Amino acid sequence: MNLELAARINSFLAALVLLTAFAMLAQRRMNGLIHLFAWQGLLLSINTAIVGFVAERHHLYISSVLTLGLKVVLLPYILHVLIRRLKIHKEIEVVVNVPMTMMIGIGLVVFSYHLTAPIMELSTMVTRSTLAVALATVLIGLLMMITRRHAVTQIIGFLALENGLFFAATSATYGMPLVVELGVALDVLIAAFIFGIFFFHINATFESLDVDQMAHLKEGD
């Protein structure tokens, strides 16, 4: 595989990752959201493998397999079990309406492009152009955490944000050292478990996963 083609595939996958990020913003159903998250993980995994092959960094294969196992199979499975146990299949409530969120999303893409433009000038790597997309994915994950009311969707937003960081790491520096990546993967997994336990407690206390309910915790008024 020559470098030119690899760069093209890389940027194509970057576009698809961006598309899944936007699709997650637009998605109203919990199940669909988890599926989209799994798709994004699959794209990341393929991208990591390709970058590893082109740059001949063989530890990237390990992180690619790790991504595949963790973000495509395990985390979506845990989330599925969670929403089944908590019985929350219904439509997601949003704070800002969907078209408005989309417009903000486009604004974030433009912003991250503007922000990474000087870095792209300096870098000589084939994958440098995807940095803007990675940053945009991070920001869109953040936007999702802000605009959703439901605790589970906020967690999916958080995981999508982590996907963006991972994508930035592979495209900007050909991946982090393996130790760091293993640590992050473990952290995300543990975080998912802890969130799961949290959800059960929140649900038991408030009989809802709407985080607005937590305003009742305030003293006074």
State the residues that interact with another protein by CB under 8 A.
8-9, 11-12, 14-16, 18-19, 22, 26, 98-99, 102, 105-106, 109-110, 113, 129-130, 132-133
What is the smallest separation between the CB atom of 173 and another protein, expressed in angstroms? 19
**Residue 184 dihedral angles phi and psi, to the nearest 5°:** -65, -45
What is the smallest separation between the CB atom of 194 and another protein, expressed in angstroms? 34
110: amino acid identity, one letter = V
Q: Residue 16 or residue 78: which is nearer to another protein going by CB?
A: 16
What is the smallest separation between the CB atom of 9 and another protein, expressed in angstroms? 6
Phi-psi region of 51 (alpha: psi -120 to 50; beta: other; left: phi over 0): alpha
**Residue 157 dihedral angles phi and psi, to the nearest 5°:** -60, -40
List, as one string, the DSSP characters of 38-59.
Answer: HHHHHHHHHHHHHHHHHHT-TH
What is the smallest separation between the CB atom of 83 and another protein, expressed in angstroms? 23
Tokens of 134: 């990675």
What is the smallest separation between the CB atom of 15 and another protein, expressed in angstroms? 3
Tokens of 175: 């991946």
What is the smallest separation between the CB atom of 21 and another protein, expressed in angstroms? 10
Q: Residue 19 or residue 46: which is nearer to another protein going by CB?
A: 19
**Residue 210 dihedral angles phi and psi, to the nearest 5°:** -75, 120
Q: Give the C-alpha distances (Å, rounded to integers) separating 101 from 36, 92, 135, 147, 217.
A: 17, 14, 17, 8, 28
Single out the residue of 9, 21, 7, 5 nearest to residue 134, CA to CA.
21
Tokens of 97: 């309406």
